[in-house]
Amino acid sequence: MPTPIATAVPVTHAGILGLGVYRPRRVVPNSEIVEAIESSDEWIRTRSGIAARHWAEPDETIVSMSVAAARDALTASGVSAEQIDAVVLATSSQMVLGPSAGAVVATELGMHDTAAFDISAGCAGFCYALADAANLVRSGQARQVLVIGVERLSDLLDTTDRGCAFIFADGAGAVVVGPAEQEGIGPVAWGSDGARTSAIKQDKDFLEYFAEVAAAEASGGTSQRPYIRMNGTEVFRWAVTFLEKACRDALEQAGLTAQDLDAFVPHQANIRITDALVRTLGLPESVAVARDIIETGNTSAASIPMAMEQLVRSGGANPGDTALLLGFGAGLAYAGQVVHLPPIA
């Protein structure tokens, strides 16, 4: 008979213990970008709801922004860096393949021999990472997990692209996930549709780019670096027709209805998508709805923790409130879960 293998001791419930964010110093209002895309402040606000966004300065890196957000999350949670067993970092804009940003962040925070890894699920990345962290805690594999969503999407922007230049932005958000007396992170409703990769994608891979650079050097011509591109119409149609099901699945798995919510925190992709989901779900007027996109733009994997923080900081919602999170974007991928909102630093 095979020798029995010992298993980790499971924990019954997991919750979000604390939240921190980092917003880059540079604020970029619409007036700074309209000339390059031949647009106007009114057009941008009408199409997206965005009035301004934050773009990182050279010293505000994926790692430095993550570290700053993580330190505030640790403070808010009352958990020390030494007590973190794993770091799960979600990003789509880390410009190197290795080492993982999560591993570097762990070291910068003073952690030693801590499991750390990155995941890439586009704008759904934070919710994917949160689900992973909750399962690590519930299984007993980790006691406390640091989850980070971070982006420097300005590195991938063609500032003359009318479809993208006004949308994407930079920032970081982090939470500490750990044991809780009652369930604080509901089951995740998630999925993807790889047939829709053209909706949001990098317009060329790096092998293609390197070949173009070599050809340009040989001929004396020029080459164009890879940029992020988006078919906004396709994304909008998918979001307003498909994501109702994702929201209702997350609510059903948590044993709740829309009327039980205190807050709704969707990915900050477009304020028209948010408003359409609010109407479709029939959310009561008492439900606080995150609209951080107005001053922050679309920060992809960072948008949900940043929007949670803004909602709590502004008094629109309170720690302990029941909130539906919904991430969606490149992939196309989505993930959502019901949570109890955490305290902030």
Catalytic residue numbers, as ranges: 123, 267, 298
CB-neighbour burial class of residue 234 (10 A; exposed 0-12, middle 13-18, buried 19+): middle
Determine how β-strand 52-55 pairs with β-strand 26-29.
antiparallel
- Residues facing residue 178 across a β-bridge: 15
Q: How many CB atoms lie within 10 A of CB 197?
A: 12
On whether the CB atoms of residues 336 and 324 are closer than 8 A, the answer is yes
Label each residue of 190-209 as H, E or C: EEECHHHHHHEEECCCHHHH
- Residues facing residue 230 across a β-bridge: 200
On whether the CB atoms of residues 151 and 91 are closer than 8 A, the answer is yes
